[in-house]
Structure 1
Amino acid sequence: MNITVFCSAYSLDDRYSAPAAEFARLLGTGGHTLVWGGSNAGLMGLLADQVKAAGGKLVGIQVELLKHKTYPGADELVLTRDLAERKAQLLARADAIVVLVGGLGTLDEITEVLELKKHGLHDKPVVLLDTEGFYTGMRVQLERMDAEGFLPRPLDQLIAFAETPAEVFTHLTTA
């Protein structure tokens, strides 16, 4: 399976990086391909290192602006003109999308993927790994949108929430 992962390009505390590394090892040992932002920085670089060490493949989708941060060991690298093209490529190459902890870029990516799914423009599984309750606020907001009629599809048809890396794969294999 080609699993697109949205996450931070910053180095993070072990409480965030350890679950990300565990997820990456599961991805690699499962024979899957990591499709990600193509960066060697922070959590993105950690993911790539762990997937590669576990025997998985790497497809980086890097934007020209950040090509100086490109991961050197990718099996395939695609350079895009801008962030919009990058997001489109990340979605197009995905069989599933997984969201790890991240900042504004990650938030932008996940909201776009959910908006496209809401309108039926893709039906790929989307799983959010809620490490240390990082996305509790987002989950509460999405649940409120669902309960108050702001979503044309039930929330559980748009996204699944996982507490552990292993649970992410449970959602992916049952989706």
Structure 2
Amino acid sequence: MNICVFLSAADLDERYTAPAREFAGLLGKAGHTLVWGGSDTGLMKVVADGAQEAGGRLVGVSVDFLQHKARPDTDEMVVARDLAERKALLLAKSDAIVVMAGGIGTLDEATEILELKKHGKHAKPVVLLNTAGFYDGLKIQLRRMEDEGFLPVPLTDLVFFAEDGPTALAHLEESLGAS
């Protein structure tokens, strides 16, 4: 399974890096491929290291203005012209999506993926990995959108909230019948 992970390229506290490393190790050990933004910095590096060290393949999708931060030792690296093309390529190359802790770019990626799923443009499972309660506020907002009629489909059809990596990976494998 090709698992796209949207996440920060910033150097973050251990409360975010340890769970990310754990998830990446599980992904690699299970023989899955990490599809990610291609950066060799911060949380992106942690996840790539963890997946690669556990035997997983790495497929990076960088963007021209960040190419200088791209990881050199990947199985595949694509460089997109802009962020829109990057998001499209990440989605096209993946079977499932996991959203980890991140900033505005990660939030943009998450909302676009959910919007596309809402409109039936893809049916890939999407997991928000709620490490250290990072996405508690977003979960509340999405539930309010559902409760007040802003979502035309049930929230559970759009996204699964996981509190830890093993739960996230188990959900993806169950959703796609992979192991």
TM-score bucket (shorter structure): over 0.9
Task: Name the SS for the 1:20 alignment partner.
Answer: helix
Aligned to 1:77: 77
Cα-Cα RMSD: 0.5
Aligned to 2:93: 93
Q: Distance in 1 between matches of 2:156 and 2:45?
A: 31
Once the 2 structures are TM-superposed, how far is the Cα of residue 125 of structure 1 from its aligned partner?
Answer: 0.1
Q: Distance in 1 between matches of 2:24 and 2:121?
A: 28
Q: Distance in 2 between matches of 1:3 and 1:68?
A: 24
Runs of 4+ in 1 over 2 A off after TM superposition: none
Say whether 1:130 aligns with 2:115: no
What is the TM-score of this pair, normalised by structure 1? 0.99
Amino-acid identity (%): 62
Q: Distance in 2 between matches of 1:120 and 1:66?
A: 31
Q: Distance in 2 between matches of 1:125 and 1:118?
A: 12
Aligned to 2:172: 172
Q: Distance in 1 between matches of 2:57 and 2:174?
A: 23
Once the 2 structures are TM-superposed, how far is the Cα of residue 174 of structure 1 from its aligned partner?
Answer: 2.2
Once the 2 structures are TM-superposed, how far is the Cα of residue 150 of structure 1 from its aligned partner?
Answer: 0.4
Once the 2 structures are TM-superposed, how far is the Cα of residue 114 of structure 1 from its aligned partner?
Answer: 0.3
Q: String of CA shifts for 1:66-96, please: whole Å, max 9, x gaps.
A: 0000001110000110000000000011100
Aligned to 2:119: 119
Q: Which runs of 5+ in 2 are unaligned?
A: none
Task: Name the SS for the 2:23 alignment partner.
Answer: helix
Once the 2 structures are TM-superposed, how far is the Cα of residue 157 of structure 1 from its aligned partner?
Answer: 0.1
Task: Name the SS for the 2:101 alignment partner.
Answer: coil
Say whether 1:139 aligns with 2:139: yes
Aligned to 1:56: 56
